[in-house]
């Protein structure tokens, strides 16, 4: 199942000694209000944004930008 596959990938990544934090990019349209809300989170003392759904992400920002056109 998907959860088991993600758990396996996560464990493999942790064992690989890769960086613990990684930037990924996701292209998505936002309203001005949504953008301002995210901006206020980003400038807070704890700039953590949590997604509660599975989204398509990429290590390449150009791929994410392709979803905006």
Q: Which residue in the block uniquely carries the two structure tokens 């064992």? A: 15
Asked whether residue 6 carries a pLDDT value surpassing 80, the answer given is yes
Q: What is the pLDDT of residues 52-69, one digit of tens each?
A: 666 677 888 888 888 776
pLDDT score of 54: 66
Average pLDDT rounded to a whole number, residues 5-32 = 82
Q: Which residues contact 59 (CB under 8 A, 6 or more apart)?
A: 22, 23, 24, 25
pTM of the predicted model, to two decimals? 0.40
What pLDDT shows up at residue 53?
Answer: 66
pLDDT at 8 over 80: yes
pLDDT at residue 56, as a whole number? 75
Cβ atoms of 58 and 25 closer than 8 Å: yes
């Amino acid at each position: 199942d998907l959860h088991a596959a993600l758990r396996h990938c996560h464990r493999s990544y942790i064992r690989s000694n890769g960086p613990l934090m990684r930037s990924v990019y996701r292209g998505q349209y936002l309203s001005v209000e949504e953008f301002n809300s995210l901006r206020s989170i980003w400038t807070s003392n704890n700039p953590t944004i949590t997604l509660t759904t599975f989204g398509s992400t990429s290590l390449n920002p150009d791929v994410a930008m392709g979803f905006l056109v």
